[in-house]
Amino acid sequence: MEKPKEEKKFIQKMKYRHAFQSRPSMIEEAPNPRTISTGARNLGMVLLILVFVEKIVSNVEKGEPMVDLHLLFHLTSGLISVLFITFIMTVWCFNIFFIEKLLIKEVISEKIAYIVYSISQIILFSVPTYFALTWNLSIVSRGSVSLQMAVYLMKTHSFFFTNRKRIKKKMNNEPEKKKNEEKKETKEEEAKSTKYKYEPSKNTVQHFTLFLLYPTLVYEQEYPRTKKRSWKSIAKYLSLMIGSFFLLYLNINYFMIPAFKEALEKNFIRIMIKLAVPSVLSWLLLFFGVFHCLLNLIAEFFMFADRKFYSDWWNAKTFDEFWNKWNTLVYEWFHRHIYLDSMTDMNIPRPLAMVLVFLVSALWHEFIISTSFLFFRPYMAASMMGQFSVIYFTKIPFIRDSGLGNIVLWLCLTVGQSIVYIGYSLFYFSKFPIQN
């Protein structure tokens, strides 16, 4: 029986479809990172869920609860108090807005404005800290208060000092205005000159309120906005966030707490190896839940279009590249208000400005952890400052270009996270018995 013409054409076409070319392996050099990241991410999540499902089934077979919720109730206790303190902090932030308005209208002098601003920031720092340390809050609740307080301090600092610098720049450029009018500027040059132009009329209560709500720490008078709000995306990010936090809780409950119990009795090296994978896993789940899910959820709800909250830090070949990519929001704030301002306003040399950035960042991290755990043990700050030597090591051309830099990065993150977790847990459980 003779085949139809269409089938013959199809066979003829398929017969010579494959053509050999000089092409790299997909994993070695992917033309589109999404071709790898989507499948790898989904596979990782499926394998992770299967690990926890196996643990749940094992608990059922032993006659134990599928999920122990006692720890969850303990960690989430005091959330109403957290919301109350956050509301008070939000209202207090408007002091900085009105200080700026009074200064623009020349009701108060610049010296008075700086004094009032400093007092306002001290109160914003001290009062929430007092509540976190004295009220009966859980670790998560105390950490949430400290973190939100740090965010508001950084936001109000950026609002005040960005406006101050723009106003001074505008006043200094006034004498040259006539000269510039005589020159013909192209559209591109005109766009560059007006990109950071200060306009007092744009500093409204509405814009300042949105700035406090936007997922950004750096103040600008204009932000890119989306045309509409996608409730489908909001539901997606919300479900992913809940799922990642639930997996984080299971990881802590099934793998980390048992290791913390053994840390009081067994060899340090053995516990460090046992905690290496769960500690990095908890860090990755927290990163995904906060930096991807929560921040995108907030951005989508408030129609904030700039969603670059992180870059591909997992591909970083050096530690300084990692710090530049893993938290874009904090990096931009430190780059503008610590790194650049220290060099321009205080004439600090560039290497010292870099050290200052690490020092302030380490102190902020340590403060939040110390407030959460109710004791001061500078393990996190020491680990961050100790990365200076690793930064220069990973910058060696052979290490950086051969791919070993990325391996060193992940080894340091894995071992470092484990050591820091053990350090805090040993002291915490010696102070607060684990059965409580």
Which are the catalytic amino acids? 365
For 408, other C-beta atoms within 10 Å of its C-beta total: 18
Q: Is the distance from CB of 97 to CB of 159 less than 8 angstroms? A: yes
Write the DSSP symbol of residue 134. Answer: H
Q: Is the distance from CB of 291 to CB of 228 less than 8 angstroms? A: no
The torsion of the CA quartet 164, 166, 171, 174, rounded to 10 degrees, works out to: -170
The dihedrals phi and psi of 64, each to the nearest 5 degrees, come to -95, 160
Write the DSSP symbol of residue 184. Answer: P
Question: Can you tell me the distance from the alpha carbon of 240 to that of 234, in angstroms, rounded to the nearest whole number?
Answer: 10
Write the DSSP symbol of residue 255. Answer: I
| Residue 40: its H or E element | helix 34-61
Reduced to 3 states (helix: H, G, I; strand: E, B; else coil), residue 304 is strand
Q: Is the distance from CB of 297 to CB of 288 less than 8 angstroms? A: no
State how far the alpha carbon of 207 is from the alpha carbons of 142, 147, 151, 156, 211, in Å. 29, 23, 17, 13, 6
- Positive or negative: CA dihedral 328, 333, 339, 341: positive
Who's near 26: CB < 8 A, 6+ residues apart?
Answer: 35, 36
Radius of gyration of the chain (CA): 27
